[in-house]
Chain A
């Protein structure tokens, strides 16, 4: 199978330039960062004398959804959220609202004061002063990407649907674009803003009883190779026809990047989160400096630049830095905010989510370092194994060893003697990710950026003794 040769990730600027000129853009309706700054000043004037934090997010999302070779849903949303958090003498209150008129701002601030007055002392930490310069190295906002028109998306999808019809295939998926602007400020001097655009092309192709998937997310439409994504999904679907049942049990698997990204999301929450770490619920709790995964695995978090770049500060206004989480299999640190770093007696790594929250800090911009083996070579070097495109509906069974369960989806293939032999009916895995990442045979030579709940950049992985506990009927 050649599909892995054409995995999304390579940059094709040709198509994006054509489309940007050809189609009129939609006008962004988000709140400007300048307006957000004015609102912060207005709030701080009302709350003078009380420590006050304001977080404003204004976002726009326009999504065209298609199924059965037609557009089935087409939407455009604009939303702004403003939160005011007051802290005084160990007490805290928070209000959130979305109306930015002076009267609504005043009403919200008064409500925050009322709640603060009627609140018990609960050890709320005071707000932070600016703790150093913010390094925003990479531009992540592209106007043309934020303002792709509905007509452009419709025509693009129409073109793809036409190709599918000709090939007697059916397409499903989404093309989504938009932007998000975030302001984090307090009346102790922090005032930080960040904006980024985003585009995602995510498609599933059906070819009789075979399904194939491909997709890519990016900040800039110029980075999305639409043709390549379409070809991969179509090829995967064609090769997925007439799937066979195979016995459950342990197999060598080649996980394509989308499947690896699914695992990394669970590692971020339950493994690298500062809260599970300090509570003793993480696989790295008490194991900093010790080898916990295969030495082929290095994982880090980097919001500043590279394929997972994002907001260069956290929601308390702390600058983010590159953070090594796993280095050649050795646990280096969890991601911390002020609260968990105090508990763990370590440094605040700048990973706070909006305070207060019950989840604690997470790394939001993670990357797995690539290795040296192409997916082609992984297949060639496999006498018997399974190639997996992606997973579906994963959930956690045991947090300490990250035992997960989930189904394969949209492209699962049996490898025999170094070649793809057949398509395989979907199977359920039940496996500890800690065990799996100790059983890594080799790591893919290219990383692919995925953006689902947050940004990850991952290579393919070849893993031995991966456990499938049951199978399904298709």
Chain B
């Protein structure tokens, strides 16, 4: 494939571009699901294509094609050059990229079992077994169980001389049971919502999830929720972990610290950020125990890579340290805006046909010192919420409201009754500053987010957020109607 890449680089060099690169990507994807006792989805897809990025006269152009031939590479590279020329008609500064060493390397996601070698029959057998357990009780009116596998083989070459080959693999699985009775709809999911758990691993992930073993409990909790009392309203202590805390990190820290948003480049669509650059190194994002670390090297992370799509080697860095804002997600274009000589390597595209944009890397809340029992014991009047159901946050990432699948009331240090429709809301810095307890590393786990939308045209990225259950004091619970 690199011989095709060389053609684009040759044309880019001939046109004396400031920078140019080409990514050829071969992607294989398998999506299987069983819905209400029937095949819900069964797709096996393979795509091949390339995207050329050109920086010329200090302005960007990008063009892609799914026809892989020397002629098409020529045509597409020239189109990207023309687009860059058009972009240069309206600029107020020259785009200059932060320096990065030249690499010639091959990087691959480590895995044990190739998911594409497991037979379709075995995969569907497992999904149908789960489905039959979920639908064993009549209150369950809808069930979905699914598995998804993605393999991406990338070839990246730059005019600076880098040639990077990467083979990335992700696997995921999960299920949801929906119980309906007398105008009440309740759902429970396992191991988490929004398609389940996904990580950069092989089929060994699916085998480790204990999917069958947890189906009965998931189903019965969905049914129990139908008759559970409603979530109370008021200021209560809140304990969250798992995929709910992962999404809290994602929405209120991850997106808020994408430097392109901070600079206003997403203003018209995804929004901007309250975490503006003058706050760097000073702003109390959270309480002293809050340490949020971005890490493109953490094993299993959905954003774990060898190199980003700027050709920057994977790194680990602080976003919030001891409660203070310490860093951003950066790319080579914007790193200089915060006076950094080198990008952190957070520029990623969702395929050959997308231009790389600043993305949340794996971003995790570092563990604290608590055991879960002790965290709960110190709560007089509170609530535990689990598994995200709905999420919404304003365009500067301040006002948020999250709904979860299930909650349990805590009274005087003990877990009491189950409640339904739990919702909490807050303002980002106040919320993270109210955190006074984080569970230790025994409870820490990485959770995948595989549906992060951003950019125009819309792109979907994947990343992971590690956390352990954490306690937040006096949070607004419930919604006033």
Within the assembled complex, what's the spacing in Å between the Cα atoms of A94 and B32? 11
Interface of A is mostly: strand
Contact B395 A392 (CB under 8 A): yes
Instruction: Find the residue from A73, A154, A430 having the highest chain B CB count within 10 A.
Output: A73
Contact B390 A397 (CB under 8 A): yes
Nearest A-chain residue to B27, judged by Cβ: A98
Contact B267 A472 (CB under 8 A): no
Contact A469 B425 (CB under 8 A): yes
Contact A151 B395 (CB under 8 A): no
Within the assembled complex, what's the spacing in Å between the Cα atoms of A84 and B83? 35
Q: Is B370 in the interface zone, CB < 8 Å from A?
A: no
Interface residues of A in 18-71 (CB under 8 A from B): 26, 29, 61, 63-71
Contact B456 A405 (CB under 8 A): no
Within the assembled complex, what's the spacing in Å between the Cα atoms of A158 and B268? 17
Find chain B residues with CB under 8 A from A95 CB.
43-46
Shortest Cβ distance from A412 into chain B, in angstroms?
12
Question: Which listed residue (A79, A202, A467) contacts B268, Cβ 8 A?
Answer: A202
Instruction: Find the residue from A61, A65, A120, A248 having the highest chain B CB count within 10 A.
Output: A65
Question: How many residues belonging to B are interface residues under a CB distance threshold of 8 Å?
Answer: 86
Contact A430 B267 (CB under 8 A): no
Q: A119-B42, A120-B124, A170-B264 are in contact. List 14 more A-B contacts (CB 8 A).
A: A61-B457, A66-B90, A72-B60, A73-B265, A115-B42, A392-B271, A395-B391, A397-B421, A407-B394, A407-B395, A407-B399, A409-B395, A470-B399, A474-B398
Shortest Cβ distance from A271 into chain B, in angstroms?
13
Contact A97 B46 (CB under 8 A): yes
Contact B394 A392 (CB under 8 A): yes
Q: Is B423 in the interface zone, CB < 8 Å from A?
A: yes
Q: Is A123 in the interface zone, CB < 8 Å from B?
A: yes
Contact A73 B47 (CB under 8 A): no
Within the assembled complex, what's the spacing in Å between the Cα atoms of A150 and B184? 52
Question: Which listed residue (B47, B274, B392) contacts A97, Cβ 8 A?
Answer: B47
Within the assembled complex, what's the spacing in Å between the Cα atoms of A115 and B401? 44
With contact pairs A154-B87, A356-B40 given, residues A79 and B401 touching in the complex (Cβ less than 8 Å): no
Contact A399 B185 (CB under 8 A): yes
Within the assembled complex, what's the spacing in Å between the Cα atoms of A61 and B51? 14
Q: Which residues of A approach B to under 8 Å, CB–CB?
A: 26, 29, 61, 63-81, 83, 92-99, 108, 111, 115, 118-120, 122-124, 149-151, 153-155, 157-158, 161, 170, 172-174, 176, 202-204, 206, 248, 279-281, 356-358, 392-400, 405-407, 409, 426, 428, 430, 467, 469-474
Find chain B residues with CB under 8 A from A64 CB.
86-87
Within the assembled complex, what's the spacing in Å between the Cα atoms of A80 and B395? 34
Q: Which of B63-71, B407-415, B467-475 contacts A (4 or more CB under 8 A)?
A: B63-71
Q: Is B183 in the interface zone, CB < 8 Å from A?
A: yes
Find chain A residues with CB under 8 A from B62 CB.
73-76
Contact B423 A358 (CB under 8 A): no
Nearest A-chain residue to B180, judged by Cβ: A280
Contact A154 B86 (CB under 8 A): yes
Contact B92 A174 (CB under 8 A): no
20 pairs of residues in contact across A and B, judged by CB atoms under 8 Å: A26-B79, A65-B268, A70-B92, A74-B59, A74-B86, A75-B62, A76-B62, A77-B354, A79-B66, A151-B89, A154-B89, A281-B141, A358-B41, A395-B390, A397-B423, A397-B479, A406-B392, A407-B394, A469-B425, A470-B476
With contact pairs A76-B79, A154-B89 given, residues A123 and B268 touching in the complex (Cβ less than 8 Å): no
Nearest A-chain residue to B51, judged by Cβ: A77
Find chain A residues with CB under 8 A from B91 CB.
70-71
With contact pairs A120-B124, A150-B83 given, residues A469 and B480 touching in the complex (Cβ less than 8 Å): yes
Q: Is B61 in the interface zone, CB < 8 Å from A?
A: yes
Within the assembled complex, what's the spacing in Å between the Cα atoms of A71 and B398? 27
1/0 contact trace for B71-91 toward A, CB 8 Å? 000000001101111110111
Shortest Cβ distance from B332 into chain A, in angstroms?
15
Contact B265 A67 (CB under 8 A): yes
